[in-house]
Amino acid sequence: MAEKRNRWLVTTIVVLGILAFLVPTLAQVIPTFFPSGQPSTANNPAPGATATPAAQKAELEAQAKGYELVLQREPDNQTALKGLLQTRLQMNDIKGAIAPLEKLSQANPNETMYATLLAQAKQQTGDREGAAQTYRDVLKTKPGDMNALNGLVALLIQEQRPEAAAGLLQDTLKNASQANQVQPNSVDVGSVQILLADVYVSQKRYEEAIAIYKEVEKANKNDFRPVVGQALVLCST
């Protein structure tokens, strides 16, 4: 019983550690697009803190409708897309946030934050396959994108597919040298190694995990992550 409890604890900590590297969650993304206190539009300020829930909902619905009308005339208007995304997130309408995120992701392929948030939205609405594919699409062009790597690894771990997660990271490390020759520093080898070691911990492959932690620690004495990782292994064995 104690061994089972320890295994559950280690797996949970590993997943939480992986998720900690992700970009802000959908609920936190609004300040990324709109600084605090900035109105959504000149004529439609964000609902005041003192408004009743019913009034807030009505105002958000009106704002969403306004953005939708703009997008009917100008489907690629990014200001309206971001406004609609913001409003739908404020309404906790994750499903409704997918359409503007898809448009923004397509229009800004180099800003992978949109694609990563799109994957998170798909995952939250139960479309795990779609989420995984979105992460993989990012990694096709940017194999070292840590947001996409962490998101896909966390998803695979949650699906109890640690072998697939480890394989993904092993392939990333195998191709890192070539990728960094094409685009310098595009793959952070140390971060990918730490992620792989975390996956090994979830599989109870402690010796392999420790070996990787030590390798990262040797390469960068100021990196606290391998120290934390080794401590976690000692606590779980």
Q: How many Å apart are CA 93 and CA 65, to the nearest integer?
A: 14
Mean pLDDT (whole number) for 30-52: 48
Confidence bin at 103 (pLDDT 50/70/90): very high
Closest Cα to residue 217, out of 206, 204, 230?
230
30 has pLDDT over 50? no
Residues listed for the chain = 237
Per-residue pLDDT tens over the stretch 80-99: 999 999 999 999 999 999 99
Query: What are φ and ψ of residue 110, in 5° steps?
Result: -85, -15
Neighbours of 199 (CB within 10 A): 27
Q: How many Å apart are CA 89 and CA 206, to the nearest integer?
A: 41
Confidence bin at 31 (pLDDT 50/70/90): very low
Burial label for 1, CB within 10 Å (0-12, 13-18, 19+), is exposed
Share above pLDDT 70 across residues of the chain, in percent, rounded to a whole number? 78
**Which pLDDT score is estimated for 1?**
53
Residue 80 contacts residue 74 (beta carbons within 8 Å): yes
Q: Could you tell me which residues come within 8 angstroms of residue 149 by beta carbon, excluding any fewer than 6 positions away?
A: 135, 139, 168, 169, 172, 192, 195
Select, from the ranges 2-11, 38-47, 85-94, the one with the highest average predicted confidence (pLDDT). 85-94
Tokens of 52: 């009743």
Burial label for 43, CB within 10 Å (0-12, 13-18, 19+), is exposed
Tokens of 113: 């934050």
55 has pLDDT over 50? yes
Mean pLDDT (whole number) for 197-214: 94
Residue 190 contacts residue 222 (beta carbons within 8 Å): no
**Which pLDDT score is estimated for 170?**
97
Burial label for 56, CB within 10 Å (0-12, 13-18, 19+), is middle
Residue 91 contacts residue 56 (beta carbons within 8 Å): no
9 has pLDDT over 70? no
- Domains defined for the chain, CATH in brackets: 25-37+50-160 (1.25.40.10), 161-237 (1.25.40)
Average model confidence (pLDDT) across the chain: 84
Per-residue pLDDT tens over the stretch 146-174: 999 999 999 999 999 999 999 999 999 99
Q: How many Å apart are CA 228 and CA 230, to the nearest integer?
A: 6
Phi-psi label, residue 160: left if phi above 0, alpha if psi -120 to 50, beta otherwise: left
Per-residue pLDDT tens over the stretch 104-141: 999 999 999 999 999 999 999 999 999 999 999 999 99
State the DSSP string of 48-64.
PTTS-HHHHHHHHHHHH
Q: How many Å apart are CA 193 and CA 83, to the nearest integer?
A: 38
